[in-house]
Amino acid sequence: MTEPFLLLASNSPRRRQLLRWMGLMVLFHAVDLDETPREGEVALQYVSRLAQAKARAASAYALPGWLVLGADTVVVDGEALLGKPTDEADARRMLRQLRGHTHRVCSAVALYDPQQDQLWQDVYCAEVPMRAYDDDEIEAYLKTGDPFDKAGAYAIQHPGFHPVETFADCYACVVGLPLCHLARLLKQAGRLPQLGVPLACRVMLGYRCSVFPQILGTQGLISGFE
């Protein structure tokens, strides 16, 4: 078996799946951090700080030659940062707050080389238009148990609830790991994914992305992203 070269500082099954779709050799080790936002901290600062902190914390478990990946995602509605709900009432509040209008989802990725003490970091915010689902739909979704480990109390990919409509941004960002941005970091670190990222999104997520050319750039696509 080929030795993994990437250690993900998370137990998220969604991030694991996305990384596997990229053809990456990955192991996983979650880290326990205080994820409370600091006073006055805005979304980009918050997710970037946590992604970097996760990568550095998990680096103690990386073998020589491995890179460590930290990632963090937050839902932003106006000035409010919505993380994972604390209980059912909190999830219900978030879902009611988000319905019928557009919010942002910000995801940060941090790639860390412990041996060289070198860190590459990127962040992206996607615009997410929520449909006007009703209270009965919220209650049915809460019964599935799906909202409780999700920022903003929802999963864009949930087949029963399908909370988002007319989406035209980075789907992987909302799932929790913006793949094109990770591909850029891997390229900077000298390690390209085996599978073109736009192709992975198209085939595995069933989503034809319209924003990847602006993120990866034409030269990036020609040189090995696609």
Catalytic residues: 72
Residues ≥6 apart with Cβ < 8 Å to 119:
52, 55, 56, 110, 111, 112, 113
* Both structure tokens of 77: 């509605």
Closest CA to 216 of 33, 193, 30: 193
CA angle 85, 167, 207 (to 5 degrees): 100
142: left (phi over 0), alpha (psi -120 to 50) or beta: alpha
Greatest CA separation found in the chain?
Answer: 53
Closest CA to 54 of 94, 8, 20: 8
217 CB burial (10 A radius; 0-12, 13-18, 19+): middle
223 three-state secondary structure? helix
* Residue tagged 């919505």 (tokens): 82
For residues 189 and 167, give the distance between their C-alpha atoms in angstroms, rounded to a whole number: 31
